[in-house]
Chains A and B, each alone.
Chain A
């Protein structure tokens, strides 16, 4: 029996998950990077094989090709629902990235982003400037630039393109319980209107929204990048904040944040002091669509528009929430929902992936845009800020008329139309 080449690492801890893989290959066709890059090193089966090889010592943690293929994973977890032996791929990926971080540097952009997101005093001004920038025509003008800067500008520009709606007042009786909402860094910084809409639609549907001061970034970006240390730090702060709020549910309108918060228990499984608290908080986390679907939701005023729905990976694959967002949209009279071909495939956003692996991200986005074009929809609904900006930017750059929008904004606009 050979020994383990990387004892004591997060990857070594993850060995049972790796051993569950029987190499059947059912994950290949679910994997956007495999379908686009056409190399099994860029598939779940291939990456798990690389993980196993790291433990066996047949490849070293400094090997550049290992880093390349692990980096290229979107972390969309589309492989998990199709895996018959239940390999916890998302956890294996995080463990691998955490292990490799000790040996290989991550890209400067990624490091900067993670650094900023872990520090509220830096994050707030950064988002403030982004918001101001988004409000000026500059991003739109610059979005035509080639390369990453152009794409980043298009992402910013897309955040300024929501739906117009009238104001309406709402007072909830709160019969469905007390809900604290996660503000989220990007949502709070760039999609403030969506956050406000989230509170309104919750109240329309009988939830009482309470504040949870002290909450911070959810830590998802850090965990995905293998920075488990900072991810845990942020998780602990959030757990404490939401415990203090006394809310029965924690509503999250960013699928990526919701996914990690539901898994706080796993993240802190080795922390005896926090483990149980993490599990308790995790069990109260709901995607906004789950809470609304549970409440009906109430039917609003008519919005005669053609809409297609793109399922965020972290909602569909990681949280396995598929029907609730559709139930939400079905509550809007006049809204014509057109099915999107391959809507279960990742759009290529994947957190900060589109900024650090631009080529692969573009390759994944391309078929998505083509499928959107085929729907002739004027709005693309998707419940995650990364996807909103990725698709929104793609639509702007491809000069397509459609805009990306959070389903909550559509429901909110429908309620506003009802009020008039």
Chain B
């Protein structure tokens, strides 16, 4: 698959008015999103790193390149792409950008939109559009890169992506902190970590997740400290002042990302960091079989993966009490990442129904052939 082949496929679809389902490694299909398509356009074979200048810390890859391959190439120069979306490393860079998927590292290194320097896409009329560039700072023209990020393939088929890399930290260690004591005590430990540390990642894990990871029977905080040795040592000292951390293998992060695997429902709830910290202890203590809860306090995001052990079960919206988050001043945003197919239309209204989004969709995909319906109508 090449850009030309994508163009040809899009042209053909325009001529025959055949909507396309756009896939990388097809990982997201499990999200159950309601795409009305008769044909699949897979970019899986369009893979490979096309340009990598280690001294510039920039890398360009075809959309079908897996995250694992990018990490492998970068590792040769002691560099990495600090992008760790939930799911497996076999997911493609194109899909990661298209779905704006992010993981525990994002509170420090940024969301996909922050690591993206430029991209190439084919719009719904078959035009090849280049956005952004290959340099780390660029304000030339309107920002189409950001527009395409998280657009779930509805505005264009991403064919190539340029991202910024970082040097691998000299030290990268992970610690587990059990959350014990009263809810108030737990909240104060969480807040102290929020204020005192600058970790690579900080995740709070509910009991079900902890058990699945074999880390015990209590909610825990998972802390990833990275940088030069002096930074890690200083942070570890600061952490030890707050609580008693125990070191574990960094592989736990990969396991955590893949844990929710076949869960039919994943919801992301976001709010102000302090609000999340205030309610975190209560939410994490809530032990619901088949429901995995993780919280990133710095990003103010909670992930709830439901229905893991009882396959085929429908999401029960009352499994976690969201009232704490929804009530009072300041509101909450809820994003449905994954749902059983039949629930989409019921729980998630269209997220692109506003006039501006509709206008953009119409301009970039006038025949509505790119992933129609995936974000609602």
Direct A–B contact in complex, judged by CB atoms less than 8 Å apart: no
